[in-house]
Structure 1
Amino acid sequence: MKEYKDCRNPVLPSNLHIPDPEAHVMPDGRVYVYGSWDQEENIFCSKEYRVFSSDNMVDWVDHGVSFDSSKIPWIFDKNAPKYPSSIDWTKPTPFLKKMIQKDTKDGKLEIPKFPDDMLFAPDAIYRDGKYYLYFCMADSSEGVAVADKPEGPFNNPAQLPCGGIDPAVFIDDDGQAYFYWGQFFAHVAKLKDNMVEFEEGSILYNIVTEEEHYFHEGSSLRKREDTYYFLYSSMVRGKPTSLAYATSKSPLGPFQYRGVIVDNDGCDPQSWNNHGSIEEVNGQWYVFYHRSSQNRQQKRRLCIEPIFFNEDGSIKEVKMTSQGAGRPFAITEIIEAYRACQLTGSVYIAPLKNGWEGLTDIRDGDEAIYRYVEWEKPVNDISIEGTGSGEIKIYLDNEKEASGSIILDKGHIMNSSFQGSSGKHQIKLKFSKVNSLEVHTIIFR
């Protein structure tokens, strides 16, 4: 077990790539995050899960590996039940065509392939003294394992009577449990009290769809007051980088599309998908989601933003931020360059040769945005630490003219000037005259 102190985005250390976060406040009052784990360089997820928890959204405990696919008996059992996914890959929907990256030479769509024992996005829930971890595999099988503690270890996996990906579990106020799953089409079934079997005849197919709701994958259900919120990865903006939601007065639907909560487009040049959840922690609601790094679709990292509801129950869309669940960055506080929440051009966030993590592959015209800083008084100096050479102009908010600039020559500051007013600001760095430039930290004084 390890402990980390961080309330800014991304939340966990740079070597922990935890996407698909499902956050739940468990009976002990702590919020637990259950997610996938991008351990490989060029493949989504891995064969292990890891659990993290916090009681204040600042101090995080890494509980280590909670479950691994070697415990699953049916993966390579030819006699085990097979419940194929409901997706017909031979008849792709319009958005499905966008999801596939390229066509083969004979015109057929190239279907992503993974080892059968890869663990994709999970979910978890507490019931009657036990904790249930729901998981899905690359072979389209789904299952549930049980533990005595919210962090696991989870054992005795049982296969669920369905096929697909991205399980979600929800227990209503009357004690009835529901299980959701699917890609491009979301389905639901009532769970029996044993949390493994479906009630006979209870399956409802296509309660949320690509055509009507822009549904891509990643079902997640929460209830607030008398409204059920169905959160999911959405294709509404052309690729599944946004988390959208639909609402209903019943956990079985019908669900009405309501809008986007957060969009991670622009977090990385290769950003492709999103997946997450919402949860109320200590009286404040948050959206838990992921952002890509290292110029890959993978290497996704846990991020968190506070969210707010309108009087009609709708959720206000929030921008990606660097501050996350914490406060804005203050005067003289070091802003690590890897906290950039939006990037334009070729620049991306990655570990650097000297051990830092920061901005790399910077080219002329690239931009990096940090949200937010908050200054109690005017600021008149900036310092940027990095390597290589280049000119960096600094813009506040939506300024057309820069508030300052800094010139680095082989990592040394040759010239700098800055004038910034007090208050809360977005910071934008714009790069030019670049020669092997990498950025590590930024400080305003």
Structure 2
Amino acid sequence: MNVFRNCRNPVLPVDLHIPDPEAHVMPDGRVYVYGSWDQEENIYCSREYRVFSSENMIEWVDHGVSFESSKVPWVHDEHAPKYEGVDWTKPTPFLKKMIERDTKNGKLEIPTFPDDFLFAPDAIYRDGQYYLYFCMPDSTEGVAVADNPEGPFHSPVQLPCGGIDPAVFIDDDGQAYYYWGQFYAHGAKLKDNMVEFEEDSVMKNIVTEEEHFFHEGSSVRKRGDTYYFVYSSMKRGKPTSLAYAISKSPLGPFEYKGIIVDNDGCDPESWNNHGSIEEVNGQWYVFYHRSSQNRQQKRRLCIEPIFFNEDGTIQEVPMTSQGAGKPFELHEKIEAYRACELSGSVYIAPLEDGEERLTNITDGDEVIFRYVDWKIDPSEILIDAKGTGEIIVFLDDKTEESGRIVIKEGQITDSSFTGSLGKHELKLQFRNPSNLEMLALHFC
């Protein structure tokens, strides 16, 4: 077990790539985050799950591995039950766009995964036990149990459905519900054993691509008398946004309402999103992931506070660097990998010693940090960088420069900056770079 402090985005240490976060406040009052684990270089997920928890969204505990696919008995069992999953031979409208995007030489290049990989999970507490729901590349889904929220989970049982991205929810009356699916989300009532479905309770296509822009990643919460169905959305052309639909019933009908957060621009290759919403210590948050290293994979846990309107709708929030914490203050180090929005070819990747930096910088590339908050006027900006080039500083949406830094072979040779009090979005624009890489910055 490892303990660390961080309230910024990304939340976890830079070598831990945990996407698809499902966050739940468990009976001990701590919030636990269950997700996949991108351990490989060019493929989603892996053979293990890892659990993290926090009492205050600042101090986090890494509980280590909670479950391994080697414990799943049906992975290589050709006689295990098979249930209908995604039919790739009958593409939906948005899937056709994906096919066009990924088709090479007239043939659809469908990603393949090892049979024993674990995709996005969910978890819940009931009657003294914790249930971990999981799914695998062959469209089988299952549930394992544990005596503690962090696991280890054991005794997996196969569920009577096929697909990906399970979600579990228990209503105020004690009735449990299960959701699953890609392109079309399905739901059913769970029996008290949390494995079997109530007869005749299965509802197909309660959230769909055509009506709700649903892609994958079901997640259900309740606030007041309203049920929120959160999911990865194709509303903006690719599934980088988390959207939501609402209902007065846990199995719908659900009405599309909008987008909560969009990770488009977090990395040049950003492709998907997956997450959840949860109330922690009186504040609601959205838990989601962002890509890194110029890959669709290597996704990282991020958190943003969210806010509800009087009518129950959720205000869309931008990606930030500050995450669940306060804006960066004067003299505070801002690591380059906390940049929340990138444009151009620049991306975030590790150095040989594991420290991360902004790299592959070309002329005109830009990065954004949200937010800084200065109680006194800063007069200087210091940059930790390698290589040569100029960095132009802009505050908020202003077009006039607030500062300019000239770097030659990693040393600042000329610098000017004029800041102002208050909270600001910080944008850096790179000009005339030559092997330029940036590690950190701070203001004084």
State how far apart, in whole Å, the 1-side matches of 2:398 and 2:323 are: 23
Q: How does 1:46-195 map to 2 (within 5 A)?
A: 46-85=46-85, 87-100=86-99, 101-105=101-105, 107-195=106-194
> Structure 1 residues 386, 256: CA separation in 2 closer, same or farther (over 3 Å shift)?
same
Partner of 1:271: 270
Structure 1 window deviating more from structure 2 (311-320 vs 375-384): it is 375-384
State how far apart, in whole Å, the 1-side matches of 2:404 and 2:280 are: 40
CA drift at 1:423: 0.3
Partner of 1:400: 399
Match for 1:24: what amino acid? H
Stretches of structure 1 that go unaligned for 5 or more consecutive residues are none
Match for 2:52: what amino acid? F
Partner of 1:45: 45
State how far apart, in whole Å, the 1-side matches of 2:159 and 2:353 are: 47
Contact kept? 1:184, 1:209, Cα under 8 Å: yes
Partner of 1:415: 414
CA drift at 1:111: 2.0
Residue 201 of structure 2 corresponds to residue 222 of structure 1: no
Partner of 2:349: 350
Match for 2:152: what amino acid? P
Q: How does 1:335-414 map to 2 (within 5 A)?
A: 335-414=334-413
Match for 2:431: what amino acid? S
Residue 13 of structure 2 corresponds to residue 13 of structure 1: yes
CA drift at 1:113: 1.1
Partner of 1:250: 249
Q: Return the TM-score normalized by structure 2.
A: 0.99
State how far apart, in whole Å, the 2-side matches of 1:274 and 1:321 are: 15
CA drift at 1:354: 5.0
Measured against aligned partners, the alpha-carbon deviations of 1:148-174 in whole angstroms (never above 9, x if no partner) come to: 000000000000000000000000000
Structure 1 window deviating more from structure 2 (195-204 vs 147-156): it is 195-204
Contact kept? 1:98, 1:239, Cα under 8 Å: no
Q: Return the TM-score normalized by structure 1.
A: 0.99
CA drift at 1:58: 0.3
Match for 1:366: what amino acid? D
Measured against aligned partners, the alpha-carbon deviations of 1:142-196 in whole angstroms (never above 9, x if no partner) come to: 0000000000000000000000000000000000000000000000011000000
Partner of 2:284: 285
Specify the SS of the correspondent of 2:103. coil
State how far apart, in whole Å, the 1-side matches of 2:341 and 2:8 are: 14
State how far apart, in whole Å, the 2-side matches of 1:279 and 1:28 are: 15
Match for 2:76: what amino acid? F
Structure 1 window deviating more from structure 2 (144-153 vs 110-119): it is 110-119
CA drift at 1:84: 2.6
Contact kept? 1:167, 1:182, Cα under 8 Å: yes
Contact kept? 1:82, 1:141, Cα under 8 Å: yes
Contact kept? 1:321, 1:341, Cα under 8 Å: yes
CA drift at 1:200: 1.1
The RMSD of aligned alpha carbons is: 0.8
Contact kept? 1:135, 1:142, Cα under 8 Å: yes
> Structure 1 residues 434, 35: CA separation in 2 closer, same or farther (over 3 Å shift)?
same
Match for 1:239: what amino acid? K
Give the count of matched residue pairs.
Answer: 443
